[in-house]
Amino acid sequence: MKKTGALITTTVLMAGLLAGCGSNGKESNAAEAVLKDGKYDPPITINIAKQQDENAGKYINGESLNDNVLTRWGVENLGINIQTTLLGGDASQYNTKLRLALTGSEKLPDVLPVYDTSLENDLIQSGLVKDIAEDINKYMPERLKEIYKQYPTTFNPVIQDGKVYGMAISPNLTEGEVMLIRQDWLDKLNLKAPTNIDEFEQVIAAFTNNDPDGNGKNDTYGFDFSGKDSYNTGWVSDSVMIFSAYTGKSLPGQWYNDNGKLTYGSVADGTKDALAKLRDWYSKGYLNKELATQGAWDALADFTEGKAGIIIGRPWLYGSVKDVETNVKGAKIKAYPTINGVSGDRTYQSGQQNDGVFMFNKDFNNMEAFFLYYDKLYDAAFGTGDFKYGYAQGYDYDIVGDEVVFDSKKFNTPLDAAQGVGKMAFTKNTPSVDGPGKSFYDLSKGAKAENGVLIRSASNDETAKEGYVISYENRESLLPNAFNGPPTKTMQTTWEQLNTMEKETFTKIIYSKEPLTAYDDFVKQWHDKGGTKISEEINEWYNNASKVDVMSQMGLK
């Protein structure tokens, strides 16, 4: 008995000691920090959460997450110390950590970038995040207001009951996709780049049957795309162009705002014709044989290897496939706009207006400081102020002689890779106001490269630059998904199954494992098994989101 007593005492003592270790939280600074000449004195600390990919560059000069050139810049120039207190590697881990933080086992960071609509909704429901409508009205600098005015729909996921629980992270329309074609193959076969579906068919047929690489073997094919995760990847190895050629603005896997009514693209008229075409091409060997097993990123390999002739993706895709010009002698890639639809109209593709939203801890009282800091980060996007060329000389850019360089190998102290600002600032993406490539367009029209944005653009590969110009000229063809809210009630239970059914049906039809009429069954089943209900719910969400005029509340009108 004596021993048991001693044991219990020890346990209690230990627990007490350990608990003591945990609660050495800092005293909240009682002295109110004041903003004087654009600087806080004494300095204040903003705690942030961050999703950071370790592979995207590394720290240099012995710096770290919470002590680097940009955090020091913040303290010195603004009196704002940015401290990362919650960090996740990839998207799902980051979401898990945010959810765990919601349990209240530790203090939620002040600023939370959230990239998942259902998590955004959970945060709102938890009551731990702040309504920032007032703050935006009061503290958001004018030039940022101008930007946010252009993207009112980005507020939809965070508006609830007329309150605004967050704001988009640097809203800006993504660049559009272009068609990358093996120009040397076109030249060899005396073909021109296709502009409609018939010409497209002729070209990929020739690429498959007429031995464009001249090795005497039947080992090439026309069109390389991925169908593993969806038939609308939105970035690389995309096949949306073919669907859009028949459906117009209804794209597979996304919602289209048809005069105030949201409709789902995969069940839209014309999809069947597109599938019929793909099925025909697949059976003739014009397409990537493994399209249903290769993810967007894996599907590139065939093109890079010199086996495929056409691939579609964002203009920078060129940088990822240009190895073919090294691997295969005489290979040459050129960028072209996507083809036109059967009606003669352009084809459309998905675009994105923002990557996630900022949300704020409801106890965070320094919104003014946040906006001060955030606005400064935009200096790089506008090419003004402290960040005229980039964020830090010797990190993401350098000045060699009189020239601003972005090629890290030409830096005064050459680096393997420039240190991206995502590693230092509080978002993984850098704010941009360049849209789908305005700077490239301006350059092509003869603008002088005099600020960071333009110089950086000018330092791209020629083919990528041409691609961006095409992207900008065709910016009208970008369609953001009209539904960006949290999963609706029926979606939570059935969306996964509907998606699986969709992917399977599409793939089986293309592979000729099921007759084309399977598509009609799919459409019927889709509606019966929850699609109709989901459409109703989504339209209800849309009407609610656009009912209250929060934009003027925020002074964004």
- The residues binding another protein (CB under 8 A) are 18-23, 52-59, 64-66, 84-91, 93, 96-97, 100, 103, 105-106, 174, 229, 233-236, 295-297, 300-302, 304-306, 314, 316-317, 319-321, 323-324, 326-327, 350, 352, 354-356, 416-417, 420, 422, 429-430
Residues 482, 260: contact at Cβ < 8 Å?
no
* CB 418, min distance to another protein, A: 8
Nearest CA to 505 among 495, 492, 520?
520
* CB 298, min distance to another protein, A: 8
* CB 181, min distance to another protein, A: 18
Integer-rounded Cα radius of gyration of the chain: 26
Distance of CA 251 to the CA centre of its chain: 18
* CB 54, min distance to another protein, A: 5
* CB 305, min distance to another protein, A: 4
* CB 304, min distance to another protein, A: 4
* CB 4, min distance to another protein, A: 11
Nearest CA to 112 among 125, 126, 94?
94
CA 145 to CA 164: how far, in whole Å? Answer: 15
Q: Which amino acid is at 299?
A: A
What does each C-alpha distance from 450 to 11, 385, 436, 443, 467 come to in angstroms?
68, 14, 20, 11, 21
Q: In DSSP terms, which residues pair with 200 in a beta bridge? A: none
- Number of Cβ within 10 Å of residue 356's Cβ equals 23
* CB 94, min distance to another protein, A: 9
* CB 234, min distance to another protein, A: 4
Residues 485, 156: contact at Cβ < 8 Å?
yes
- Number of Cβ within 10 Å of residue 530's Cβ equals 18
* Cβ distance to another protein smaller for residue 78 or 119: 119
- Region label for 38, one of left (φ > 0), alpha (ψ between -120 and 50) or beta (otherwise): left
Nearest CA to 54 among 432, 431, 428, 430?
428
* CB 452, min distance to another protein, A: 15
* Cβ distance to another protein smaller for residue 79 or 420: 420
Residue 478, helix vs strand vs coil: strand
Sign (positive or negative) of CA dihedral 252, 253, 254, 259? positive
* Cβ distance to another protein smaller for residue 34 or 100: 100
* CB 66, min distance to another protein, A: 8
Q: Which amino acid is at 333?
A: I
* Cβ distance to another protein smaller for residue 65 or 518: 65
DSSP line for 16-78:
HHHHHHHT-PPPP--SPPEEETTEEES-EEEEEEEE--TTS----TT-BTTBSHHHHHHHHHH
CA 418 to CA 57: how far, in whole Å? Answer: 7
Distance of CA 225 to the CA centre of its chain: 19
Nearest CA to 311 among 296, 326, 323, 325?
296
* Cβ distance to another protein smaller for residue 194 or 234: 234
* CB 129, min distance to another protein, A: 19
* Cβ distance to another protein smaller for residue 55 or 259: 55
CA 160 to CA 130: how far, in whole Å? Answer: 12
